[in-house]
Amino acid sequence: MAGYPLLIAAAEDTVHASQAAKAVAMLMMMGNLGGVMMVLLMQSVKGLTGSWMPTGWVLIIAVALATFLVFLDSNKKCNVLKE
């Protein structure tokens, strides 16, 4: 199953029903901001090194950092997983 619909459902379940649209909108805006930042970061690494090869390490570090942030607070439970 795709992760994006689960993430939207988790955002909707986390906040009050009147704030669900704002939560999903913020989630989408942060995803777009992350995409723009990664493009700019990869272009700057390519400009500094003159090669696209080191940008692979940028992606690996970004995935490792995201994984660390996801598991940082393992005490919080998501309502989606209880169903």
Tell me how far apart the alpha carbons of residues 55 and 57 are, in angstroms, rounded to a whole number: 5
CB 41 within 8 A of CB 29: no
Report the interhelical angle of 20-49 vs 3-14 (nearest 10°): 130
Q: Collapsing DSSP states into helix, strand and coil, what is residue 60?
A: helix
Q: Mind listing the pLDDT tens digit for each residue in 36-83?
A: 999 999 999 999 999 999 999 999 999 999 888 878 866 565 554 444
Q: Record the pTM.
A: 0.66
| Residue of 38, 40, 12 whose CA lies nearest to 26 | 12
